[in-house]
Amino acid sequence: EAVVLEPAPFRHGVIPGFLAGPAFAEALRDELLGLGFRGRHNDLLSLRQSEELGASPEPHVAALRHALCEEFRVWLSAVTQIVLEPTIDVSCAKYEYTDVLLCHDDELEGRRIAFILYLVPPWEKSDGGTLDLYSTDEHFQPQQITKSLVPSWNTLVFFEVSPVSFHQVSEVLSHKCRLSVSGWFHGPSVARPAQHMEAPLARSPHIPHDHEILYEWINLVYLDMDSQVQIQEEFEERSEILLKDFLKKEKYQLLCEALESKEIQWRSRGPANKRLYEAAEEDSLPDTLKKFLQLLRSEALFLLLSNFTGLKLHFLAPSDEDEDAGEGQAADTTGHSSPKPEQEETEQPANGNPHQPQQPESTPGAQDSETQGGSGTPVCAGELRRWTHGHYTLVHDSQATEFALDLLFFCGCEDWDPEYGGFTSYIAKGEDEELLTVNPEDNCLALVYRDKETMKFVKYINHRSLACLNKHPNRTGFWDFSFVYYE
């Protein structure tokens, strides 16, 4: 009865000593640890979870379920003034080193109150695994963490599920096991506000720059017409390609040195239910980086990308009509054209290959291509991003899905291990299974063609990534230039 219902940042309560008698809690913990757990890993989470405990025959689990559905539900309903149904969803989760559950609101049809019962060893804030509660802005988007609840043995936390109930389980930083029983009470659904659509990154047509800019920056191997024909054949078969040692060595070195500049202003990109990383303010960039961004937006690169991919990103690139007539020509990057084998139609990813598109993180929440850059003029949008421990992007409902070519160019990821996270994962809409993973690799250009059914995310960068500091004491992560090109 002494439980206080806290109003901010959204209604929640904490009940220490929830289960009477230590013997019951310990027996419950032992039963739970004996259950089968399966690893779950996607954009949002990394943890081990039991099956639904709704029909679990273990006596202490059954007794807990009964207590939650009966006495506790009646009490909770009275305290919150929410009518609750006599059934619950309940399961058990184990979070171990580097496991995490990123920012989300728990909203699903009928969920009204979420609960978590902790059965953890002695736990400190420094162990991570805190339940972090977010405040929200005027658009009902998460703003900042205003409260962190440290797990504690036999303590139950509950909160009202609503459009503003954004929370996360922060990454577990120790080798302790964070064991909990959690679930939801259900009741009448509440109205949701209209979904907030954020402004996408601005798209723009190419900027005038002739082929000289390519010869200044790019490894000459990739400017050879025979190489381009080979690259295009591979790309049309797979809808993706990695071009290693893409820049001339000396240019790549200059780029890396410029990225270390203290003059660059980095701003955090959120909101946390969609992404967390840093993007560079372009006005603050040293000249070398500004010139590289000019290359990525240049007419010459649009044409080169057309030659690499078979997409029509430049008026000199052969059209489908040319190819259907058996007259396919690869445009020479010097503006001349050279013969090229007849190709398959390139509007669709070749061979129905699944490595294809949604609107990417680099143009978050963008509208359909008909409303932006749908005039038939090829356009691009992009940014320079910095990735360090704790950064990620998530797949989210407001991502527009359209055909697009993703370009990623990586810097400063020497000794980067995929175990750290930070890789870009492509998945089919509504599925967890990965279609393609692009790992950060120095001086490597990744090109991926996406269709409307493909989503992508950058995997959460975990605590293991700090091992990089041992070899590179001044470097906290890596950088990428993330661009998207639209026909």
pLDDT band at 3 (very low <50, low <70, confident <90, very high): confident
The token pair at 199 is 């402004």
pLDDT score of 346 more than 60? no
- Check: CB of residue 160 under 8 Å from CB of residue 113: yes
pLDDT computed for residue 308 by the predictor: 98
CA angle 474, 478, 480 (to 5 degrees): 145
pLDDT computed for residue 332 by the predictor: 67
Taking residues 280-294, what's their average pLDDT? 98
Q: Mind listing the pLDDT tens digit for each residue in 214-269?
A: 999 999 999 999 999 999 999 999 999 999 999 999 999 999 999 999 999 999 99
Give the closest residue to 388 by CA, choosing from 477, 277, 482: 477
Cβ atoms within 10 Å, residue 54: 12
| Helix, strand and coil in the chain, % to nearest 5 | 25, 30, 45
- Check: CB of residue 103 under 8 Å from CB of residue 97: no
Assign residue 478 a region (left: φ > 0; alpha: ψ between -120 and 50; beta: otherwise): beta
Cβ atoms within 10 Å, residue 249: 10
CA distances from 370 to 202, 459, 486 (A): 15, 30, 11
Q: Say how far apart CA 49 and CA 235 lie, in whole Å.
A: 39
pLDDT band at 271 (very low <50, low <70, confident <90, very high): very high
Q: Mind listing the pLDDT tens digit for each residue in 363-385?
A: 333 334 334 444 589 999 999 99
CA angle 310, 316, 320 (to 5 degrees): 45
Read off the pTM: 0.90
**DSSP H helical segments within 176-260, as ranges?**
212-217, 225-238, 249-259
Assign residue 154 a region (left: φ > 0; alpha: ψ between -120 and 50; beta: otherwise): left
Taking residues 460-484, what's their average pLDDT? 90
pLDDT score of 92 more than 60? yes
Instruction: Look over the chain and give the mean of its residue pLDDT values, rounded to a whole number.
Output: 89
- Check: CB of residue 213 under 8 Å from CB of residue 298: yes
Provide the percentage of residues in the chain whose pLDDT is more than 70: 88
Q: What is the DSSP string of 411-463?
A: ES-TT--GGG---EEEEETT--SEEEEE---TT-EEEEEE-TTEEEEE----G
DSSP 466: G
pLDDT computed for residue 399 by the predictor: 75
pLDDT computed for residue 40 by the predictor: 96
pLDDT band at 345 (very low <50, low <70, confident <90, very high): very low
pLDDT score of 398 more than 80? no
pLDDT computed for residue 436 by the predictor: 97
Domains and CATH numbers, the chain: 4-186 (2.60.120.620), 204-315+375-486 (2.60.120.620)
pLDDT score of 357 more than 80? no
pLDDT score of 62 more than 50? yes
Least confident of 48-52, 136-140, 189-193: 189-193
- Check: CB of residue 332 under 8 Å from CB of residue 338: yes
pLDDT computed for residue 366 by the predictor: 38
2 versus 177: the higher-pLDDT residue is 177
Burial 239-248 (b: 16+ CB within 10 A, else e): bbbebeebbb
pLDDT band at 350 (very low <50, low <70, confident <90, very high): very low
Q: At what angle do helices 249-259 and 287-296 cross, to 10 degrees?
A: 120
398 versus 156: the higher-pLDDT residue is 156
